[in-house]
A and B are shown apart, each in its own frame.
Chain A
Amino acid sequence: MIQFFQSIGRNTLDTVRGIGAASIMLAQALIGKPQPVKMFSLLMRQLYVVGVQSMLIILISGLFIGMVLGLQGYTILVDFGAEQALGPMVALSLLRELGPVVTALLFAGRAGSALTAEIGLMRATEQLSSLEMMAVDPLRRVVAPRFWAGFISMPLLAFMFSAVGIYGGYFVGVQWLGVDDGAFWSVMQSSVDWQHDVMNGFIKSVVFAVVVTWIALYKGYTAMPTSPGISAATTQTVVYSSLAVLGLDFVLTALMFG
């Protein structure tokens, strides 16, 4: 019995300690005198690694998810003679939910795990300690550019995902299944609102960007400097960020559209 309560207490304390340490890490990495010239090339490099290299998987997944939405939506809507509603169905589900969420999940798998493994290996091979020996703050030099790169690129990727997905839905619905071209776009335009749908989706993807990148960086930075340690940290990154994204998505949806 005592052990039971003790384990609850220990887990709670560990969780709180972890959140605190992660916040301190992020604050130390981001707060400080800005160094625009030095940061720019580092940020460019990370935007390439985090953003550009994730673009292909995001575009292809977006296209296929849009096409599946078009196909599934059509088979259901045609029963009610409401196949004109295919446009808003595809656009709203992509802009509000699937765009931000699936982008965040793919991003956690594609870029988040890579960030964790990279920083974890840097710690294991004592590159971070050597940076400190040279009086270079590894938080500013290694963590900050990666954080900003994730923060900038994920909302952009989510926009691309939605745009490509809508085109995929158009391709299947209009070109293949024969929904009327004009009705598809005009009904979509009359029910999608820039502020309410597009901007709320954008806010979601910004929140997910912070959460996913933050978890990936913290897990990498605090990984045990051994092979199993890095492997565990990479797994934890993907698991924790996926759970955090899905949980936060429910909260944000309830606040925005509830």
Chain B
Amino acid sequence: MEARKIEFLVGVFVTAAIAAIVFLAMQVANNTDATRGETYTLYAKFDNIGGLKVRSPVKVGGVVVGRVSRITLDREYFEPLVEMRISVDFKGFPDTSSASILTSGLLGEQYIGLEPGFIDEDVFTLEHGDYIYNTNSAIVLENLIGQFLFSQGGD
């Protein structure tokens, strides 16, 4: 087989591979992720994080604005401390905002729901490295059942 034809077929081979990579990049993987590109960091302390994991989404009204980047335990009060990376496209949440750990669906994954608070002149916006103080912990089913049984017993 002459060299021309071989080069042509190798060219077809490489083009098919590039087409496959482009297909995987555009159609299969998520490159419109809010955590791609520049981000800023916010922190929140919870009493209980339930099943929250690193890379869980942070949503405002269902829109993904960032992801959980680290989960540790606060050294002083032994509370779970969650570090979130929020896209710089969504800057300027007021510091009266609250963060809750919610579950998508009955058995779905857990995520952080960010609820923007009210704005007036002595409210600051959340900047890089700030803490969100209004937090609601994850609902733990066992605690809920315990409370229910306890309240039943009171009657």
Measuring CB to CB, which residues of chain A are less than 8 angstroms from any residue of chain B? 41, 44-45, 47-48, 51-52, 55, 91, 95, 153, 156-157, 159-160, 162-164, 166, 185, 188-190, 192-194, 197-198
Contact = CB atoms under 8 A, between A and B. Distances in A.
Given A47-B10, A48-B10, A52-B10, A162 B30 contact: no
* Interface residues of B, dominant DSSP: helix
B12 to A, nearest CB: 7
A194 B31 CA distance: 7
A61 B28 CA distance: 20
Contact of B9 (A48, A153, A190, A193): A48
- Candidate in B1, B14, B17, B24 with the most chain A CB atoms within 10 angstroms: B24
A156 B13 contact: yes
Nearest to B20: A163
B29 interface: yes
A166 B28 contact: yes
A103 to B, nearest CB: 12
B7 to A, nearest CB: 6
Contacts of B9: 48, 52
Interface residues of B, number: 23
Contacts of B12: 52
B29 A160 contact: no
A197 B25 CA distance: 11
B144 interface: no
